[in-house]
Structure 1
Amino acid sequence: MSVAGNSTVVGDAPTAFRKDQRDSFKGTKTHQPEIPKIGNDFSVTTDDHLKERPFYVPIGKGGLIAALETLDKQLVEYGRNSILSKKAPVQWAGKEITPGQLGLINHGGSPSILIRPGRYPPFPFRNWWARTWDGTHGISDTVIEYLGLTVVQVSQNQAAVVSDPQNQIFVVKNSGFVAFSIEGSYDVLSIVDQTHLPGIVVDKLTGVVLGWTHEVKMKSRVGHGQEKDYVVALFLNIPASNCAILQRGDDLELLGAGQSVITNPSVTLRGLYTLGENQLELPTKDIFTRDQVPVSLTLYLKWQLTEPLKLTTHGYNTPYDALRDKTQSILTQIVAHLDYSSMVKQRTLGPNNLEDGNDPSSQFLDSLRTQAMDEMHDAALEYGIVLKDLAVIDRQFKGDIASTMDKLTTRALQAQVEAANVDRENSNRVKQEEGALAVAKIKAQSQNAASDADAYSVVTAARAQAEKTKIEAAAQAEVRSSSC
């Protein structure tokens, strides 16, 4: 049985916080997500305090009936009335109690419990006016409260938050108890499902789920009939790779993943943290260059919290807060030694965007790659944070100088665009003229070919005509010679 009375934390088992798992804060330097408990031990997993509560019997292997019998013996030994009825069941008539049930009888304001199944007469033969039948309850019911008798039985993953007659809060897990209060009462404030707590805690910046919480409250009368709710127990369900920081006075304790509950009012929850990697964009405040031009940077950060106690010791609630302050301070010192002209050319910095060392803007990039990254890494280690990546993804220049430079830059871009348009038009015009010239050449060649063809036709026709004339002249000459 895991029971905590006026304790801080009840873990899943007494061995959850062994001494060999603890270490001093100053001597611990862990860089893995799995962190042992560190600091002063606020945890109590012993049930020695239960001996101080009279007529309180934990439910053991024998179950509820055995615990009721033990409680009844204690009451009789101290001269109190027995709570177990001596009535025997009959077979002919009466109220029926089946196996697995308890019968409840109001015997003059004191409980009288029937534990044996069977039939019981509807009224007693003697002292009948002092007894009232109040029905039955299941032996396995989680809570039974009847005339000062309190029975609590919680199963796996359940936890009962109980206030004893002295208004001391204690928590019962995976077991139960029976108790009879002579003065005051045992009040069962809540039965909590530790696996499904209603309150989810999310990192507002990164969106990472840090854990789940649930507050159990108790009403108290403070005078003049007024009632107020007071938190008496805080349940925590911390997922793997996460942790919580508890504080009591000036002492801190790291609580690892698992199901826990805080009942000690002197212990407060400082916060929940994730031990996994996180990445986020970080906008900085305005930083002035050497020539007094204000610039606002947007950074990309990747980090991992490995020692949460160091972070809380320095007064920071989140790793982002610590990185933001240190980043602002370091970048202010670096940018103060740079000119506007050396920063305006390059907009991004990352592992895939490296410049030639001869570029004037490389001064800014080299400063960030070396000085800023090294200083940020060393500063983050002081807060238990490992900085894994730093890059500038954007920067905005402000002020009159930056506005004038932006206008000049814009005008220069416009001039470049206009010049490009003129070049494009000239190129198109040249291409058009070259095309027209090519067409003219083709036409001239066509005309030359046609002229050559015509000239050849004329020469051929003239030759044919001359040959014809020659043939005709020869023929006529032959005719004349024949006639002579």
Structure 2
Amino acid sequence: MIVHDSTQLGMTHFESAFITVTRRDSAHPDTVYKAQVKEGLVLSTPIFKITMSSPQYNNIKGNDTKGKGLPIAGPISGKADDYSPSLGNKTLIAGSDSHEAPAHVFEGTDDWNIPDRVANQRFFVQIDHVNIHSLIEAFQELDKVMRHEGMGHLISRKRSHSIGGRAVEVGQIGVLAYRGRPIIIIKPGRYWNLSITHTWYPWAFDLTTVNQFNGLTFAQVGQSEAMVCLDPQNQVFVVRNGGFASYGHSGTYKVIEIVDTLNLGEEYAVRETDLSEDESMGRLLGYKKEVRHNVMVGDKTQSVTIATFFNVPAQNTVVIQNGGHLKAFGAGQHVITNPKCTFRGFFTLGERQKSFRTQPAYTLEGVPVVLHVNLRYRVVDAIELTKSYETAFQALKNPAQSAVNAVVSRLSYQQFMRAKSLRGDIPDVEHMSWLEAFKAECMADLAAHAIEYGVKVLSFDVLDRRLEGKLGDDLEKQAESVLKNQMQSTQVALQNRINTETEQGRLEVAAVKAQQIQTEAEAEYQRQIKVADAQAETVKRLAQANADANRTETDQRVRAIEQLAAAEARAIELQGAGYATVKAPFAQQVQLEKIEMEKFKSLQDATVFVGASAANGAGTTRDGVNQGFAFARGMSLSNQ
């Protein structure tokens, strides 16, 4: 399929090593077409070309306005504003009358190598790390060239001595002047100068520094350094990770400055100038350092820029212009030595956002409304942006105002007063979110304008609104009064709800406390039951223990009495047996008396004893007792 009708270029998308061109056909506005070309160039203008870097793609060129057409891969689905930027270096020709930029237009940009016009000079030897690896080798090569050209030798043939003379240390060269040209000593040692035509230079030269003497210039730099030099024709060239040795036969070579490419210095930082309200310092866009050279113009000294160094952070780009041609450089280190190339600006390709207040926009009633909006966007084509604006926000501000004016002019002021803050949406009578519709319409209008300038709008949010003018103030007061009444009624309802919920909470707390008291009472009851059970068990066990102790004690006493009775019975038996063995009458009488004494001891203290001899016989004793009893009775009767 070939599209001959030139229409709006929808987007340019870089995929891997290819560029995908997506555009809309005016005859079929709902269909999106895509074409892929390799390492090409696309102009988002009605007249455009796609230029290939490979010969096999040279047949894919077209100018739609002339009917040549553009090969199309076929219809695809997608939005016209789905645009992804390239992080590489792309060249674009500004304006609708664009044409392919010649190769020499941007010559002198990112040229870190010594140009051929300098390297091919007879008396210039560069350290290329291939044939020449050091300054000593460069001096030796330059010495051969000078001798071959009949200009005499450069390296001295003097011998070193052990004492006296001038000392040349390791890492240095000794320099002598001979008839206006230099003679150098490259080997360390002590050297005598006995020639009246040779003159020592006051000190030896260090090989690691920049040195110039009698037309001899030599210097070398490391990987992170760049040396800005001028050749005899005042043409600028840059040397990085190398060096050179030269003799100014037709003019001297000058080293103007050595630049640290990794750290250009914070004083050379370029930051965004469009700051948000919460930003104290703009986002870093890159570093730009100009190397200047002083030239004499008559009796005055003038400083001119001979080279410009750039250090571009990731996700940023820098745009350079040469006449009507623009070129974007991606992240990394860059240098410009072409005086025709000028710096246009740094741009960030990352996501950015900006909050600002619009100019008054008028509703259907003529009420001016000021909106506080927030834009979220990113630059997708820095070259397109550079054509018309310095910053992305400048490209968005006017289209954003136009979009707001177009939408607000179709709305009434009541729609802006439905909510205290536009952060929350209140549906209208058609049950649709007017704010979302408002933002969507503004977003669509703004995105369509912004993509023409290489900016993709990601979101458009309304943060707040304010009515302007006397009418706006009156309406604002009325709306505020209505809102105040609504707020008061809402507060009353809220307070009632709070009171109800508070009372419910109190009842719930009381119920919880009652349940807690009941639980505690039940726990106390159970505790007391357990204590009573424990006490009863203790008493029971104590009584059982006492009974067991009494029983044991009684048993012990019974056994003791039984044992004592048995012992006494045994004693009586033994005593009786003993008494029975007594045969003599006197001994028996003694035993009987002893028994009588035991009987008397067992009587009470008030017992009256009546003496009688047992030997008189039992009758005599009985008679005596009866007589005594009769006497006592008689005495008692006489006392009456």
Query: TM class, shorter-chain normalised?
Result: 0.7 to 0.9
Partner of 1:454: none
1:247 counterpart (297, 311, 321): 321
2:88 counterpart (36, 49, 58): 36
Which piece of structure 1 moves more, 300-309 or 33-42?
33-42
Partner of 2:174: 103
2:231 counterpart (164, 174, 179): 164
Aligned to 1:386, what secondary structure does the other structure show?
strand
Partner of 2:363: 289
Alignment of 1:115-264 (within 5 A): 115-121=186-192, 123-124=193-194, 126-127=195-196, 130-139=198-207, 141-198=208-265, 199-206=268-275, 207-223=282-298, 225-264=299-338
Offset of residue 425 of structure 1: 13
Letter in 2 for 1:323: L
Alignment of 1:398-417 (within 5 A): 398-412=468-482
Alignment of 1:114 onto 2:185: yes
Offset of residue 182 of structure 1: 2.5
Q: Which runs of 5+ in 2 are unaligned?
A: 1-16, 18-36, 44-49, 52-80, 92-100, 276-281, 497-640
Structure scoring higher RCO (CA < 8 A, sep ≥ 6) equals 1
CA contact (8 A) 1:347 1:395 kept: no
Alignment of 1:450-461 (within 5 A): none
CA contact (8 A) 1:343 1:361 kept: no
Which piece of structure 1 moves more, 178-187 or 28-37?
28-37
Aligned to 1:276, what secondary structure does the other structure show?
coil
CA contact (8 A) 2:321 2:327 kept: yes
Letter in 2 for 1:311: L
1:51-77: per-residue Cα shift (whole Å, max 9, x none)?
A: 454411101333111111111222222
Q: Which runs of 5+ in 1 are unaligned?
A: 1-16, 427-484
Cα 1:105–1:36, aligned 2, differ >3 Å: closer, same or farther? same
Offset of residue 263 of structure 1: 1.0
Aligned to 1:24, what secondary structure does the other structure show?
coil
Letter in 2 for 1:151: F
Residues in 2 aligned to 1:424 and 1:24: alpha-carbon distance in whole angstroms = 64
Residues in 2 aligned to 1:346 and 1:300: alpha-carbon distance in whole angstroms = 19
Cα 1:388–1:117, aligned 2, differ >3 Å: closer, same or farther? same
Residues in 2 aligned to 1:262 and 1:307: alpha-carbon distance in whole angstroms = 22
Residues in 2 aligned to 1:153 and 1:217: alpha-carbon distance in whole angstroms = 20
Residues in 2 aligned to 1:356 and 1:425: alpha-carbon distance in whole angstroms = 26
Offset of residue 134 of structure 1: 2.7
Cα 1:424–1:153, aligned 2, differ >3 Å: closer, same or farther? closer
Letter in 2 for 1:205: D
Residues in 2 aligned to 1:347 and 1:71: alpha-carbon distance in whole angstroms = 83
1:222-244: per-residue Cα shift (whole Å, max 9, x none)?
A: 22x11111111110000111111
Offset of residue 388 of structure 1: 1.3
Which piece of structure 1 moves more, 63-72 or 416-425?
416-425
Offset of residue 89 of structure 1: 1.3
CA contact (8 A) 2:226 2:258 kept: yes
Partner of 1:56: 124
1:360-388: per-residue Cα shift (whole Å, max 9, x none)?
A: 9944542322x212222222222222211
Normalized against structure 1, the TM-score is what? 0.75
Count of residues in Structure 1 that have an aligned counterpart in Structure 2: 400
Alignment of 1:340 onto 2:452: no
Residues in 2 aligned to 1:89 and 1:422: alpha-carbon distance in whole angstroms = 107
Alignment of 1:23 onto 2:40: yes
Residues in 2 aligned to 1:349 and 1:150: alpha-carbon distance in whole angstroms = 71
Cα 1:222–1:306, aligned 2, differ >3 Å: closer, same or farther? same
Larger radius of gyration: 2
Cα 1:278–1:422, aligned 2, differ >3 Å: closer, same or farther? closer
Partner of 1:273: 347
CA contact (8 A) 1:282 1:324 kept: no
CA contact (8 A) 1:33 1:276 kept: no
Cα 1:250–1:188, aligned 2, differ >3 Å: closer, same or farther? same
Residues in 1 aligned to 2:236 and 2:375: alpha-carbon distance in whole angstroms = 45
Cα 1:290–1:54, aligned 2, differ >3 Å: closer, same or farther? farther
Residues in 2 aligned to 1:167 and 1:277: alpha-carbon distance in whole angstroms = 44
Which piece of structure 1 moves more, 228-237 or 283-292?
283-292
CA contact (8 A) 1:111 1:147 kept: yes
Normalized against structure 2, the TM-score is what? 0.58
CA contact (8 A) 1:306 1:386 kept: yes
CA contact (8 A) 1:162 1:171 kept: yes
Alignment of 1:91 onto 2:162: yes
Alignment of 1:308 onto 2:375: no
Which piece of structure 1 moves more, 198-207 or 173-182?
198-207
Residues in 2 aligned to 1:347 and 1:167: alpha-carbon distance in whole angstroms = 69
Offset of residue 419 of structure 1: 8.3
CA contact (8 A) 1:293 1:399 kept: yes
